[in-house]
Amino acid sequence: MLRYFRTEAYASVVCMCCLTLAAHATAQPFSTIINVPPDPDPRTIGSNTQLNLFAGGFIAEQFVAGDPAGTSTNTEVNIRDGELGSDSKAYNSTINISGGIVGRRLSVYDSTLNISGGEIVTDANTFEDAAVIAYDSRIHISGGIVGTQLVAHNSILDISGGELGSSARVFDGTTVNISGGIVKDNFRAFSGSTVNITGGRVNSLRSFSEANISGSSWVRGVTANGGSTININGGTVGNDLSRTNNIPSILAQWNSTFNISGGDVGSNFDVVAGSTINLTGTSFILDGIDLTHGLTVGEMIPITDQDVAIEGLLADGSPFSFYIETNTTVLPDAIWTVTLVPEPGTLSLLSLGCISLIRDRRS
């Protein structure tokens, strides 16, 4: 027993040593560390260099981290306070912003941008201006304030906290994951992008591609443009009584699709000709008539009636109510469908029944 214990203890020590050596092997030391202040601000930094910006420090505009040719490695900028000038750029670098002020048009290429504090400022009155411009990069916003006009191409944008300013735009190849924080007005997701919202607050989303809304998210308004698909499985969507009847909380444009199976979905819903609204639930009542018992589970049934109310329970048990109105809410050729699914409790009972049947056969 003693020999076994010593063997195990020796193996544990060897494993710990291996892990320590591996950690040192993966942690790349910086050959150059620049602290501003007291060091003077650099115009550029290259490979194996760390730049730290502290209170009272200032780095002039058009600062460049990394090599534009993409050959530099292990380049890091930490902005803890102070001010970084506008039109700065990063190539194959890591930028960590936890405080201070960053000027407009911070451009990142093949880089990682972590924002946990501070503020990236822009001129809100200039449409061409932008807080951040990203290509082939990963951006994580967990705090701080990012000004108007974030632009991302073929990137990953994770938002778990903080505030993203209005008029952000994401393009082909970009995936957006929103789990917290605040996203202000006119967030636009263009063709080829994907937006996943599981939490946080989004004032308005305009999608030209695919968006998935679920969890505890709160989305004030959603517009689906032609060719887009909006999947709503949870959250609170378009349920804002402060919006007037002239401004729909949810708008389905021509050739767009809404798939709604859960969540608290507002009734201020405008559906344009050529769009499709698919409702998935456990109960459907059309103009006071219960359709549920006449439906087959899993079969999609079109609703051709107009000037009628449709209400019931979505697949997650959330109640819904819409009014299909001729020439206002629904124009001709718009399509509404309902698909019946079993109640969650029914599925649980079926699963228990199957387990019991399997046990009986084995016995």
> What does pLDDT average to over the chain?
87
Whole-number CA gyration radius for the chain: 27
What is the model's pLDDT at position 331? 55
- Inform me whether the pLDDT recorded for 37 exceeds 60: yes
Q: Let me know: does 266 contact 238? Beta carbons within 8 Å.
A: yes
Q: What is the pLDDT of residues 176-233, one digit of tens each?
A: 999 999 999 999 999 999 999 999 999 999 999 999 999 999 999 999 999 999 999 9
Q: What is the pLDDT of residues 90-124, one digit of tens each?
A: 999 999 999 999 999 999 999 999 999 999 998 75
Is residue 1 very low, low, confident or very high in pLDDT (cuts 50, 70, 90)? very low
Q: How many C-beta atoms lie closer than 10 Å to residue 10's C-beta?
A: 10
| Domain boundary assignment for the chain | 1-28, 31-180, 185-363
Q: Let me know: does 130 contact 151? Beta carbons within 8 Å.
A: yes
CA-to-CA distance for 169 and 328, rounded, in angstroms?
Answer: 30
Query: What average pLDDT score do residues 84-92 get?
Result: 97
Q: What angle do CA 44, 28, 12 make, to 5 degrees?
A: 165
220 contacts: CB under 8 Å, gap ≥ 6: 201, 202, 203, 204, 238, 240, 243, 249
Q: What is the pLDDT of residues 256-290, one digit of tens each?
A: 999 999 999 998 888 888 899 999 999 999 999 99
Q: Which amino acid is at 112?
A: T
Q: Let me know: does 88 contact 64? Beta carbons within 8 Å.
A: yes
Tell me which residue of 293, 300, 296 sits closest to 336, measured CA to CA. Answer: 300
Residue written as token pair 């199976």? 261
